[in-house]
A and B are shown apart, each in its own frame.
Chain A
Amino acid sequence: MGHLTDLQCSMYVDGALTSEQYNTLGDHLAGCTACQARLSVFKEDQGIIAIAMTNQTEVVPHMAPPKFKKPVGLREFAVANLLTGLLFWFAQFSSKAIFGELVVDGFSWLTSIFVPDVYDLALTTLLYFTNEGTVMIEAYSGFIVAAILAVAATWLLLYVVKSKQAFSFCLLTAVLGSGLALPQEASAIEHRRDHVTISSDETIDDTLLFTGETILVDGIVTGDLIAFGRRVVVTGTVNGNLIAFAESISISGEVSGTTINAGKTVEITDAILGGDFWGAGESVQISRESRITGNAVLGANRVSMQGEVGKDLTTGAETIELRGKVGEDMVAFGKSIKLLGDAGIVGDLTIHSVGEDSLSRSAESTVGGSIQFELHDLDGRSKNPYATFQFYGFQVLKLAAAFIIGYGLFMLFPAVRSATLNSGVTGFITAGVGLVALVSVPVILVLVAITVVGLPLTFFGFALWLLGLYLAKIIVAWLIGSMLFSDPDGERGVALPLISGLAIVTVAINIPFIGGVVSFVMTIVGIGMLVQWLITNYSRDAAIVR
């Protein structure tokens, strides 16, 4: 054979040749001084590099040992999550039981005995606050604001100039400031305790805000009229909007703007309302001669509508009686809807109710458009899903399907078993990656779809994305299961950890109130694990064994 190559020399001194190669080269070396010389050069180099390599020319910085802590295992993580979930569920359940049922029921029973009228109570409170409370609040809020400002200024000055003079100065300013800030009574709002009357020969060229026991407006108000009282009667004209809150509201004048009324009884008698009308109360009555130019929205126990509505009429009431005309469509939510006399609806009538028998109509009534029924369960109590057998049957079915798919997945691709959720920050990163994948993939796919050429790719991508969403929870289930059995790579079989994990996940995502959040978190964590697993396994040189 010929002389040794550089590669052979290099590997020779590194001890990286096979015994066969050593024998062959040895035979040559024995009789070739040139090769012996070259080899000795390589040997010297090797020694020098090895020494130089470990020789530190710079000072090694002193490094305190890091805080060695065992990461929280996923078993603890899962158990803690489950416990938190159960705790939440228990807290919510008991709060609902205590407050939702006991307190509210008890309170309503109590009020039915002691409090003659809820409206009365609300009004008394409101009147007290509007008459006395505003002054009180203004006085105190002025003081509070001044105090906060003074403290802030003091802090700032002390921070900037750390001297005693500055402190004294601040103190003085604060005292003076709080004295000055004490308010004078606001003059824009007129407070009158008992009775407010705007007589028919009076014209108010401004917006009026009234609070009082009885409010009578017979004159003309050019701006808005806002009235809170026990009894509000408007017989005059309001050019702006009319907002009234009272035990009884009676309007028989003319309002140009929007009318918003809330009270125990709302009566619109021979009135002309130029804009929309919003009325709420125990009973809302609109007399035959009244006219509402815009839309009417009425919510009450009992609605009696005899007048005319220019546009749509939307009502929600136990009993709805319509004798008048509706210019456009009517939507009614209620148990009993009656079209009486010559009631007329130009457009469609949509009824949201328990059954079609809730509508009764006279022979003379007319509906220009169609009549549609939207049937609802108006009992107000939605069915408890946990109380039905179908729910559990469906869950078991879903569990079985997920198990079969998961089992197939881990059998076909054993490497997926190694997808792991690292602890701490990395776990959050995994969830973040999952969230990004969850959100960005559809966006990207839509963008691809726009190019038309990419349409098949988009369908394919969406299918993959949906598959990923489904697999995400299976992978999390596997992770939880394998951690519970302390068998991260599924060496002792896949079935048992998988079914246990799936059972835990199924229970967790069905926990009332927080199940949705759990499901969402599990999905993003699972997708994150899947994405990270794909990245680590298919982007690197396959030869690197991890």
Chain B
Amino acid sequence: MASSVVAFEILYKEYYVRVFGLCRRLLNSAMLAEDATQETFMRAFRSFSKFDGNQPFWHWIASIANHYCIDLLRQRTRMQNLFGNEQEEMEQIESPGPHALTTVIDSEDNKTLNAALADMPDKYRLPLVLAYFSEFSYDQIAVELGVSRNHVGVLLLRAKQHLRSRLVATPAGEV
């Protein structure tokens, strides 16, 4: 019992910054993210016996954090269909060719990009965070969000486009 607590505290120190970062991105609020981080670790500790040593610890704890944060967002928005309709999203895909983000924010620090991420609607931010922060595959994201695999692809593309349009519309310094 005591040794498992010590072991888990080591894991906590190792991973809490990263878990916090994930929750911060998912929830868009540092305050909520702090609570979410603690809750994630509490839940992880409670079901530590179910942890499969063959998979990376990060994937396991990240999926617990994802569950928790998405639940929280669902409760907050009181909206079951958080991720819209695949067809509608498809139709919203902008036709003009992409401008590379590099051309827009080449000389800028990450502030502009962070602000753009924070501004993004939940339905685009969540898949983007799961794909690029949690490093989940499309299939894992689909399961996590309860949408189809293709829907995930559309949402991710929309997210990238959203970032671009946001950054092009708001040149550096105005954020």
Residues in A lying within 8 Å of B, measured CB to CB: 6-7, 9-11, 14, 16, 38, 41-42, 44-46, 48-58, 60-61, 63, 65-66, 68, 70-71, 539-546
Interface of B: prevailing SS: helix
Cross-chain contact A6 with B20 (CB below 8 angstroms): no
Cβ distance A476 to chain B, nearest Cβ, rounded Å: 21
Bound-state CA distance A6–B1 (Å) is: 53
Pick the contact of A52 from B67, B110, B138 — CB < 8 Å?
B110
In addition to A10-B157, A70-B46, 9 A-B residue pairs with Cβ atoms within 8 Å of each other are A6-B94, A14-B138, A44-B102, A52-B114, A53-B25, A63-B20, A70-B1, A70-B45, A542-B146
Known: A41-B98, A50-B132. A7 touches B154 (CB 8 A): yes
In angstroms, Cα B100 to Cα A44, docked, is: 7
Do B101 and A14 touch across chains, with their CB atoms under 8 A apart?
no
CB distance from B20 to the nearest CB of A (A): 6
Nearest residue (CB) in A for B30 is A58
Question: Is A57 touching B146 in the complex (CB atoms < 8 A)?
Answer: no
Q: Which 9 A-B pairs have the closest CB atoms?
A: A541-B146, A544-B146, A543-B146, A41-B100, A10-B157, A52-B113, A16-B138, A65-B12, A68-B45
Q: Which residues of B contact A (CB under 8 A)?
A: 1, 5, 8-9, 12-13, 16-17, 20-21, 24-25, 30, 34, 37-38, 41-42, 45-46, 67, 74, 80-81, 90, 93-94, 97-102, 105, 109-111, 113-114, 117, 128-129, 131-133, 137-138, 142-147, 149, 152-154, 156-157, 160-161, 163-164
Cα A49 to Cα B102 with chains together (Å):
10
Cβ distance A22 to chain B, nearest Cβ, rounded Å? 14
A48:B30 contact, CB within 8 angstroms: no
| Inter-chain contact B21/A60, CB cutoff 8 Å | yes
In the complex, what residues of B have CB within 8 A of residue A57's CB? Answer: 109-111, 114
Is the pair B153, A543 in contact by a Cβ cutoff of 8 Å? no
Q: A53-B132, A543-B146 are in contact. Are A10 and B153 (CB under 8 A)?
A: yes
Contact between A63 and B37, CB atoms less than 8 A apart = yes
Chain A nearest CB, measured from B124 CB (Å): 12
Cβ distance B5 to chain A, nearest Cβ, rounded Å: 5
Contacts of B105 in A (CB 8 A): 48
User: A66 and B114: CB pair below 8 A?
Assistant: no
A11 and chain B: residue at smallest CB distance? B153
A-B pairs under 8 A by CB, number:
129
A9 to B131, CA, bound (A): 16
Q: Which residue of B lies closest to A58 (CB)?
A: B30
Contact between A540 and B117, CB atoms less than 8 A apart:
no
* Distance between A2 CB and nearest chain B CB, rounded to angstroms: 14
The 8 Å CB contact of B110, one of A6, A55, A540, A541, is A55
Known: A48-B113, A65-B41. A6 touches B98 (CB 8 A): yes
Once the chains bind, are A60 and B114 in contact (CB under 8 Å)?
no
CB of A541 within 8 A of CB of B80, answer: yes
Q: Shortest beta-carbon distance, A217 to chain B, in Å?
A: 77
Name the distance in Å between A440's Cβ and chain B's nearest Cβ.
20
Q: How far is the CA of A233 from the CA of B147 in the complex (A)?
A: 93
6 contacts between A and B (CB under 8 A): A7-B90, A10-B153, A49-B128, A63-B34, A63-B37, A540-B74
Q: Could you say which residues of chain B place their CB within 8 Å of the CB of A41?
A: 98-100
Measured CB to CB, the closest approach of chain A to B27, in angstroms, equals 14
